[in-house]
Amino acid sequence: MVPQLPKLGLIAGGGAIPAIARDTCRADQRPFYIAALNGFCEPATVEGTEHGWFDLPQVGRLLKALKAAEVEDVCLCGRVRKPNFGALKPDLKGALLLPKIIKAAAPGDDAILRVVVDAFEQDGFRVIGIE
């Protein structure tokens, strides 16, 4: 018997990569959950899958959904544009994270990504790249 891989949470932005990651999970028989980002992820990407829709600043809601879906690993996939930070309406967890993200925006996208990855890791998820 082949051991089953841990359930993967696909944090799905725009473009083709989230659908490719979904299809790879299916081919590998890896359980997965898609956290689709409103305004970025294509609706067709989540059809027929276990999924939820999230606004960027809904960090607490997203983390809660991933835990409820019994996700262990997380993969950030797809394009996400830098938002207008002033227009965001974060939940409590997002409000606590937002100042770090705004500060990281000055150095660039890599710094923002590191803040996001750290947030997932601090909540007990293992962040993995596209393989």
Cβ neighbours, 10 Å, residue 131: 7
Chain CA centroid to CA 103, Å:
20
Q: Which of 1, 3, 7, 63 is nearest to 35 (CA)?
A: 63
Report helix, strand or coil for 89: coil
What pLDDT does 32 receive? Answer: 98
> Would you state the structure tokens that stand for residue 47, as one six-digit string?
């059809």
Report helix, strand or coil for 87: helix
Tokens 């939940």: give the residue.
91
pLDDT tens for residues 113-131?
889 999 999 999 999 988 6
Cβ neighbours, 10 Å, residue 80: 21
Q: Which amino acid is at 51?
A: H
pTM over 0.75: yes
What pLDDT does 3 receive? Answer: 67
pLDDT tens for residues 2-34?
568 899 999 999 999 999 999 999 999 999 999
Residue 88 confidence class, pLDDT cut points 50, 70, 90: confident
Cβ neighbours, 10 Å, residue 82: 11
CB distance 42 to 107 below 8 Å: no
